[in-house]
Structure 1
Amino acid sequence: MDDSDQKIPVSIAFVGGGSLNWATGLMADLAHDRQLAAEVRLYDIDHAAACRNAEIGSRHAAASRGRAATYTACESLAEALEGADVVVISILPGSFEDMAQDIAIPAAFGIPQAVGDTVGPGGFVRALRAIPMLAEIARAIRAHAPNAFVCNLTNPMSVLTGTLHAVFPDIRAWGECHEVTKIRRQVAHIANTQAGAERYGHRDVEVNVLGINHFTFVNRILLDGRDMMPTYEEFVRAHMQSGWAQTEPGKDADYATYFGTRNLVAFDLFRRFGIPAAAGDRHLAEFLPVAEYLHDPEQWGFTLTPVDYRVRDRAQKQQRAEALRAGDIAPEAVRSDEALIEQIVALLGGEMHIGNVNLPNRGQMTDLPEGTIVETNAVFSRRGVEPICAGRLSQALAARVRDHAARQDALLRAVLECDHAALFPLFREDPLVAPLPDSAAREMFAQMLAATAHVLPDELKGAA
């Protein structure tokens, strides 16, 4: 029996299959993988983009290391989902032009945002656009692939993963985010520096994760069975003032300009709360009042990523995708930093996998309410995705995390129940919005809703 005959068959429905990021990353990972025999169905409201990606996928498959994955562009969501083993959701709620308004309108009211897709006024309005979309997808999964494992990659991660579970309580869904990779890379760097050689990568570092998406912390760090927490604490103390520059491998200087950080926010949170912060500074800063970090991003070593950069980056990726489709350049089967392949293999009976994911709280975080979406480690195996008890945060930090988690839960309920009256008070309570005079907060909310009204369902258009 040859290697290809031993592969695990899997049908993957990719919702948002025209993606220029996650979809093409999955293609490269499948081409690199030796364990799965994948049939990938790509669905996107932009069908031409899904067709383009199907051609790119076929080119990746031709260069694969084992049995090639197959790619099909589907014209309907139902067609893509029917009988799927795994569903991957990676959509853009609205457009970059909508996201530009999520950033620009609050900025005019004195609220800077580095990302604007999770919390703060930008994250709130993005959620208003996205929750109805994820609700529709959840209903379609219930109808066409009720037993599928479902991976959500779309932000705001906590609210949208919660939407899937609220609409289809029996769904086998988790939210996947790579932010925690940042601290794992830091620890690998520290260990390699000590060893004087490149011995470790982020996959070698084990961390125990606590928190909610993009506001995550770790209270245990292991490498080769060695407790790395004292070493990491020493590293933070040594770089508390100067910071430590971090960019993602393989990214160009332009990317580093807009997405690189010096980890000064994370290091300062460690000083304040005594626990390492796991997410990147650009996300962490948005969970806290403007006066703490966002008032002076240059001082804190990060940038407010402009949406026009994202638009330029998208255009470049579209050009590269077209060149891949046409065969002008060859696909590279370079393994990404993502763990989705390992997760799928484990769920279908392969080697067990442990990693951080977003799931409803079933006791894995004892200081947050049951049912709220939390980010902790979980075990992936044939039994499904089972959260691991993560423990507790300090009282002061838990209060901040709980505040955001409660607001995310209430926002989800308000949208699903069309409770318009609840929306502005929740918007008003966010730490970035709270310092504004009430009249200014109301005007900002009204302007943001008006700017995104063309994307909102009819039942939400009167929320202002």
Structure 2
Amino acid sequence: MKPSIVIIGAGSVEFTRELLGDILSFAELGSVRVVLHDIDVARLETAQAIAAATARAAGAQPEVVATTDRRRALDGADYVINVIQVGMHEATVRDFEIPARYGLNQTIGDTIGVGGIFRGLRTFPVLAGIARDMEQLCPDAWLLNYTNPMAMNVTYLHRVAPRLKVLGLCHSVYWTMVGLCELVDVPYDEVSYWSAGVNHQAWVLRWERDGRSLYPLLDQRIAADPELRRRVRVDMYRRLGYYPTETSEHSSEYVPWYLHDPDEVARLRINIGEHVSISEQNMAEYSRVRAQLADTDTLPIDNGSTEYAPQVIHSLETGTTRVISANVVNDGLITNLPDGVAVEVPTVLDALGAHPMKVGDLPPQCAALNRGFLGPVDLTVRAAVDGDPSLVRAAAMVDPNTAATLSVEKIWELCDELTAAHADLLPETLRSTPNRPDITD
């Protein structure tokens, strides 16, 4: 029986096109059942056209169903790929414009920080609905989550639906390793590596070719290039000894050292507000693809799967063994990070499922930063689960970049304003604002 693959939020042009291209590139998956779901009818129609054009380009014959009814989409699913963005571009703009008025710089705003906190809070109600539907309609299906904030979403799903099989998937580790190999002129296919931490702040713990560390080659490359030293994650690597697995723009938001200091922003060429322009580019790409589909019935695909969800599905369906980086709830996997929150670890895929690998202790300096990252993650999830708006403010207060920039009173004021701005998308219990302490005493 052919597997049923559901894409929730299929109106996302970028993800749907890449995921379907990779899925249908596998000969064994050419006749799968693909169910596309989105609440936006126009975007869903575009996703259906993308699926048909991609299938023709791949020479595949999948069964494609498109529906705005989530329960219909999930009924009998084997794999559910989640790529939703609650609030779309308008919410992203609010996440940047409101904090900017307080003097708080953000670059991506989708992971921790006030942007990540409120993105998580408006995503949780939809995740809870997906989880309830899956428990009733496809309890044995795998939920493959791409939606950010990854660590918050995976942790939240574990708290509200602990029996669901959830993997959080992000390509940051893969592209980091590809980029590092290009820097030192070593073919990616000839290296092995071991990475672990939290999503968007994991660490390259080992990186070897023929049993020899490639870090000395990277050191030589950095020493020879002053411009390379003007990148946040290169700066972090030189000070911490392990290379972080996300871009410099992402990495700058998860520590207290850079974004509040104009000199550091200039030295490290940090692009403030980058994600707003990325979001605008995604909207333009959607319009471009819609126009392209009006003139052609095929879309070119990039042969060779690099996204993780298609690899997960292929491995579980065919028994092909692979190792990827996946986000799962910590259960003794990383022993110097707290249990019960999402961590990113090497994970073996085979016919029996996904098997996260035990890492043990991270280097202490890496674990210390990850614990600071996980503070906002845990508090944001607890705020939603407990219905406690004061924990939303606590999450922002312990966020490294926010705390380094704003006073506690300004943090509360900012959270109040963001709550009002996003109120219709937030859990009802978090739409009120808690009483602030009297600071005039």
TM-score normalized with structure 1 length: 0.87
Residue 398 of structure 1 corresponds to 367
Q: CA offset at residue 175 of structure 1?
A: 0.5
Cross-structure match for 2:39? 45
RMSD over aligned Cα, in angstroms?
Answer: 2.2
AA in 2 matched with 1:62 = R
Shift of 1:69: 2.1
**Does residue 173 of the first structure (1) align with residue 180 of the second (2)?**
no
- 1:212 paired with 2:182, answer no
Residue matched to 2:346: 377
Cα drift, residue 342 of structure 1: 1.7
Does the Cα contact within 8 Å between 1:187 and 1:205 map onto a contact in 2? no
Do residues 388 (structure 1) and 388 (structure 2) align?
no
Output aligned runs, 1:201-240, within 5 Å: 201=188, 205-223=191-209, 226-239=212-225
Q: Percentage identity across aligned positions?
A: 29
TM superposition shift of 1:457? 3.2
Cα gap change, 1:300 to 1:359, in 2 (>3 Å): same
Cα distance change of structure 1 residues 359 and 440 upon mapping to structure 2, 3 Å threshold: same
Secondary structure at 2:326's aligned position in 1?
strand
Name the SS of the counterpart of 1:297 in structure 2. helix
Pairing partner for 1:339 from 287, 305, 308: 308
Structure 1 residue 267 and structure 2 residue 261: aligned? no
Indicate how the Cα distance of structure 1 residues 175 and 185 shifts in structure 2: closer, same or farther if over 3 A, else same: same
- Mapping of 1:54-453 within 5 angstroms? 54-65=48-59, 67-190=60-183, 193=185, 200-201=187-188, 205-223=191-209, 226-239=212-225, 241-243=226-228, 264-289=231-256, 291=258, 295=262, 296-306=264-274, 308-328=276-296, 330-335=298-303, 337-435=306-404, 436-453=406-423
Alpha-carbon displacement from aligned partner over 1:176-216 (angstroms, at most 9, x marks no partner) = 0111123211233145x36xxxxx34x65432112111111
Q: What's the offset of the Cα at 1:288?
A: 0.9
- The answer as to whether partners of 2:26 and 2:314 remain within 8 angstroms in 1 is no
Tell whether the 8 Å contact from 2:35 to 2:73 is kept in structure 1 after alignment: yes
Amino acid at match of 2:43: A
Instruction: Give the superposition deviation at 1:307.
Output: 5.3
Which position in structure 2 is the counterpart of 1:253? none
In terms of fraction of residues, the more helix-rich structure is 2
Gaps of 5+ in 2: 435-441
> Which residue, out of 426, 444, 456, partners 2:426?
456
CA contact (8 A) 1:43 1:77 kept: yes
**Within 1, Cα distance between the matches of 2:191 and 2:357?**
17
After TM superposition, give the deviation of residue 25 of structure 1 in Å: 0.8
**Equivalent residues of 1:90, 1:154 under 8 A apart:** yes
Describe the shift of the 1:438–1:187 C-alpha distance in structure 2 as closer, same or farther (beyond 3 A). closer
Identify if the C-alpha distance between structure 1 residues 398 and 38 changes in structure 2 by more than 3 Å, giving closer, same or farther. Answer: same
SS of the aligned residue for 1:433 comes to helix
| Native 8 Å contact 2:92 2:276 kept in 1 | no
Q: Secondary structure at the match of 1:220?
A: strand
Alignment correspondent of 2:437: none
Compare relative contact order (CA 8 Å, sep 6+) and give the higher one, 1 or 2: 2
Cα shift at 1:338? 1.4
Q: How many angstroms does 1:452 deviate by?
A: 1.1
Amino acid at match of 1:61: A
Instruction: Give secondary structure in 1 for the equivalent of 2:224.
Output: helix
Question: Closer, same or farther in 2 for the Cα pair 1:135/1:223, shift >3 Å?
Answer: farther
CA 1:291–1:298 in 2, change beyond 3 Å: closer, same or farther? closer
Give the TM-score normalised by structure 2. 0.91
2 CA distance for matches of 1:95 and 1:183? 27
Contact 1:58 1:70 (8 Å CA) reproduced: no
Change (3 A) 1:431 1:268: same
Take 1:21 and 1:344, find their aligned partners in 2: how far apart are those partners? 19
Letter in 1 for 2:319: G
Letter in 2 for 1:345: H
Aligned length: 430
- State how far apart, in whole Å, the 2-side matches of 1:294 and 1:84 are: 49
SS of the residue corresponding to residue 79 of structure 1 reads helix
Preserved CA contact (<8 Å) 1:293 1:300: no
- Which residue type is aligned with residue 408 of structure 1? V
Residue 320 of structure 1 aligns with an amino acid whose one-letter code is R
**TM-aligned CA deviation for residue 329 of structure 1:** 6.7
Displacement of 1:306 in angstroms is 4.3
Q: 1:157 to 1:144 in 2, by over 3 A?
A: same
Identify if the C-alpha distance between structure 1 residues 290 and 53 changes in structure 2 by more than 3 Å, giving closer, same or farther: same
- 1:288-307 deviations in whole A, cap 9, x for unaligned? 11546764434213312445
Counterpart of 1:3 in structure 2 is none
Question: 2:388 & 2:417 partners in 1: Cα distance?
Answer: 19
Point out the more displaced range, 143-152 or 228-237. Answer: 228-237
**What is the Cα deviation at residue 423 of structure 1?**
2.0
CA–CA distance in structure 2, aligned partners of residues 346 and 226 of structure 1: 29
Confirm or deny: 8 A CA contact 1:286 1:294 kept in the other structure: no
TM-superposed CA distance for 1:91, in Å, is: 0.5
CA separation of 1:314 and 1:403: change in aligned 2, threshold 3 A: closer
Tell me the CA shift for residue 224 of structure 1: 5.8
Query: Is the partner of 1:83 in helix, strand or coil?
Result: coil
Counterpart residue identity of residue 63, structure 2: T
SS in 2 for 1:60: helix
